Amino acid sequence: MRVSTLLIAYAFLFVTLTLGSAAMAIWTTERGRMLEERIELAEQSYHAHLSLQSNIYQLFKQHGDALIIGDRDNGALEAVIQDAIGRDIQLIRDTIGREIELVGEEEIEELARLAEIERRVNTVTVALTRISSGEAGSDQARLRAQLVDILDREVDIQIAQLISEALAEEEEEVAETLVEAAAFRDRVQIAAVAVGLVAAIALGYAIWTFNRYLRRPILALSEGVRAYEAERFDQDIKVRGGREFENLGALLTNMARKLRQRQLSQKELNERLETEVAGRTRELEKLLRQFEISEANRRRLMADISHELRTPLTIIQGEAEVTLRGGPQEAETYMEALSRIRDSAKHTNRIVDDMLLVARQEADELRLDLRDVDLMAVIDDARGLFPGAVRLDSGLTSLRIRGDEMRMRQCLLALFNNAARYGGPDIVVRAFHEGGRAIVTVEDNGSGLTDIEKSQAFDRFYRGSNASGVTGEGTGLGLPIVRAIVKAHGGDVELEDGREGGLRVAMSFPTPRAGIRLVPGAASDSA
């Protein structure tokens, strides 16, 4: 077997395992998200049906009161309740539509039941309205009898039965989804064990082939070279393994025979052997170094991209889900949501471009789009993009520096994300001017870091003790990236103890005094 073929087999095996693991992770994530969304939709539909049932009974009670004691508000309260019923029905319809998109047409029966409920509610409402608006002098006993008949036949039996069936079906759907989720977790565990076994077998095979086709031939070549170095030129080099090594062994053997036949001097023989062996060794070492560098760069690139894309993609998904979940809205609302999604997408694309450029150049330099930037506006943008709550404590309305707005926002989002994940629930961002520099701090009320951990926090892939109980895929690249961006702006970043025992990250940037504007009576707000 050729060594090149063996290396190709190693590469194919590695790529196969990597792609298989990635595919399994993606499938597991998507399947889990689908099950969670299905449970959420079922619970939302269940509560909407309860609200619909309550509003229906309240509407019919109001009609009964109007018949018995008179309509004092000319049907105003009935109209309000009917609007609430319409909203409940529309919410249920939208929820069922999302369920159909998620699991298929098996939820269409719920739409038919909802249409039947809506039809019966409208029929009963028309009948009750007709009874409630009867002319003066009408037979009150007859009207009450009609009212009782409608309430007993339509409301207490038919509509109540339809809503009870819908509630029972939603409860059953939640239970089935929970059972399916449990079975899915079992399958994932089995698949993980299977992948582990395959990986172990592949590793064992790789070790065996490496020993047979690489290690043993190299040892045989080394032994032959040592023999020639000791002037034992009558010894042949017998190599069994990779074809390249066999050819090399035959070449060295033939070389030794020719040297012996030509009666070359000992010095000339040693020089030629050393030159040949040294050249081959350098080639092997060069190939090995290239492979190690390529693998290290690939792992570092994948880790950086995974970390940096998580926050903007979460923002895009969150904005879309919040907008879609709220039902039909004004065009301005959609435009605002799409604008934030567009900004996050641009932010993501910029990060990817920078990551790929760094990887291609194998450099740590950052590309900055330096402009006149208002840090207060950047802080507001970051707070708006961040899905959690961040409180602003500053007496400034404007704090201008010369910097890259997107990179500044990237720093703030990374710090917000770290604070939310590893700190406490209370996140505060402060901005002020001190000693000719713009200072921006992000503080949480979590457990904080020890002095030793602070000294190591800017190291790549380092995670402190406060991350031991945190779930997620954080790689420990947030603070190193923040420091790189701040340093590229001519600033500095420090880790300090927070006022309430958490961690405070302080970033400082050079700024002209003219770029500051104070607010009378410093104010705080929260997002």
Residue with the larger pLDDT of the pair 380 and 315: 380
Indicate whether 446 belongs to any domain.
yes
Percent of the chain past pLDDT 70, that is, above it, reads: 75
Tell me phi and psi for residue 343, to 5 degrees. -60, -40
Least confident of 144-158, 273-287, 392-406: 144-158
Of 172, 206, 240, which residue sits at a domain end?
Answer: 206
pLDDT digits (tens, 9 = 90+) for 81-120: 888 888 888 888 888 888 887 777 766 777 777 787 778 7
Contacts of residue 333, defined as CB under 8 A and 6 or more positions apart, other chains included, come to: 323, 326
Read out DSSP for 101-147? HHH-GGGHHHHHHHHHHHHHHHHHHHHHHHHHTPPTT--HHHHHHHH
Q: State the Cα–Cα distance between residues 264 and 423, nearest whole angstrom.
A: 75
CATH number at residue 395: 3.30.565.10
Contacts of residue 52, defined as CB under 8 A and 6 or more positions apart, other chains included, come to: 85, 88, 89, 92, 117, 163
How much is the pLDDT for 314?
83
Residue 324 pLDDT level (bands cut at 50, 70, 90)? confident
Least confident of 77-81, 247-251, 257-261, 407-411: 257-261
Residue 474 pLDDT level (bands cut at 50, 70, 90)? very low
Report how many domains make up the chain: 2
How much is the pLDDT for 432?
93
Question: 123-158 burial, b if ≥16 CB within 10 A, otherwise e?
Answer: ebbebbeebbeeeeeeeeeebeebbeebbeebbeee
Winning range, highest mean pLDDT, from 129-138, 255-264, 281-290, 348-357: 281-290
The pLDDT of 423-444, averaged and rounded, is 90
The pLDDT of 404-433, averaged and rounded, is 88
How many C-beta atoms lie closer than 10 Å to residue 319's C-beta?
21
CA distances from 221 to 238, 261, 289, 421, 468 (A): 8, 22, 21, 55, 49
Of 206, 240, 268, which residue sits at a domain end?
Answer: 206
CA distances from 339 to 71, 233, 290, 316, 336 (A): 49, 79, 44, 10, 5
The pLDDT of 379-407, averaged and rounded, is 90
Contacts of residue 218, defined as CB under 8 A and 6 or more positions apart, other chains included, come to: 245, 284
CATH number at residue 165: 1.20.120.1730
How much is the pLDDT for 225?
80
Q: State the Cα–Cα distance between residues 488 and 506, nearest whole angstrom.
A: 16
The pLDDT of 328-348, averaged and rounded, is 80
Q: State the Cα–Cα distance between residues 463 and 36, nearest whole angstrom.
A: 29
Winning range, highest mean pLDDT, from 42-46, 101-105, 169-173: 42-46
Is the confidence at residue 19, as pLDDT, over 50?
Answer: yes
How far is CA 360 from its chain centroid?
A: 25
Indicate whether 196 belongs to any domain.
yes
Q: Using DSSP, state whether 417 is helix, strand or coil.
A: helix
Tell me phi and psi for residue 460, to 5 degrees. -65, 135
Is the confidence at residue 344, as pLDDT, over 50?
Answer: yes
Winning range, highest mean pLDDT, from 65-69, 342-346, 518-522: 342-346
Residues of the domain holding 440: 367-467+475-510
How much is the pLDDT for 358?
42
Among 441, 378, 384, CA closest to 415: 441
How much is the pLDDT for 477?
59
Residue 267 pLDDT level (bands cut at 50, 70, 90)? low
Is the confidence at residue 193, as pLDDT, over 50?
Answer: yes
Is the confidence at residue 393, as pLDDT, over 80?
Answer: yes
Residue 382 pLDDT level (bands cut at 50, 70, 90)? very high
Residue with the larger pLDDT of the pair 475 and 291: 291
What would the two tokens of residue 526 be? 């929260």
Indicate whether 105 belongs to any domain.
yes
Q: State the Cα–Cα distance between residues 90 and 92, nearest whole angstrom.
A: 5
Question: 230-252 burial, b if ≥16 CB within 10 A, otherwise e?
Answer: eeebeeebebebbbbbbebbeeb
Winning range, highest mean pLDDT, from 217-231, 252-266, 276-290, 460-474: 276-290
Among 481, 432, 438, CA closest to 461: 481
Residue 135 pLDDT level (bands cut at 50, 70, 90)? very low
Amino acid at 284: L
Residue 137 pLDDT level (bands cut at 50, 70, 90)? very low
The pLDDT of 56-76, averaged and rounded, is 72
Q: Is 467 in contact with 442 (CB distance < 8 Å)? A: no
Is the confidence at residue 440, as pLDDT, over 80?
Answer: yes
Indicate whether 169 belongs to any domain.
yes
Read out DSSP for 419-470? HHHHS-S--EEEEEEETTEEEEEEE--S----HHHHHHTTSTT---GGGTT-
Residue with the larger pLDDT of the pair 396 and 264: 396
How much is the pLDDT for 71?
64
Is the confidence at residue 385, as pLDDT, over 80?
Answer: yes
Residue 178 pLDDT level (bands cut at 50, 70, 90)? confident
How much is the pLDDT for 115?
81
Percent of the chain past pLDDT 90, that is, above it, reads: 9
Residue 9 pLDDT level (bands cut at 50, 70, 90)? confident
CA distances from 402 to 146, 216, 378, 417, 433 (A): 78, 61, 13, 25, 15
Residue with the larger pLDDT of the pair 468 and 68: 68
Is the confidence at residue 266, as pLDDT, over 80?
Answer: no
Indicate whether 340 belongs to any domain.
no
How much is the pLDDT for 5?
76
Residue 231 pLDDT level (bands cut at 50, 70, 90)? low
How much is the pLDDT for 362?
40
Indicate whether 439 belongs to any domain.
yes
Contacts of residue 260, defined as CB under 8 A and 6 or more positions apart, other chains included, come to: 233, 234
Of 174, 206, 238, which residue sits at a domain end?
Answer: 206
Q: State the Cα–Cα distance between residues 252 and 275, nearest whole angstrom.
A: 12
Least confident of 353-357, 396-400, 522-526: 522-526
Average pLDDT, the chain: 77
Is the confidence at residue 462, as pLDDT, over 70?
Answer: no
Winning range, highest mean pLDDT, from 6-15, 80-89, 346-355: 80-89
Q: State the Cα–Cα distance between residues 265 and 398, nearest whole angstrom.
A: 84
Evaluate if pTM is beyond 0.95.
Answer: no
Q: State the Cα–Cα distance between residues 194 and 21, nearest whole angstrom.
A: 11
CA distances from 24 to 18, 251, 309, 344 (A): 10, 48, 20, 27
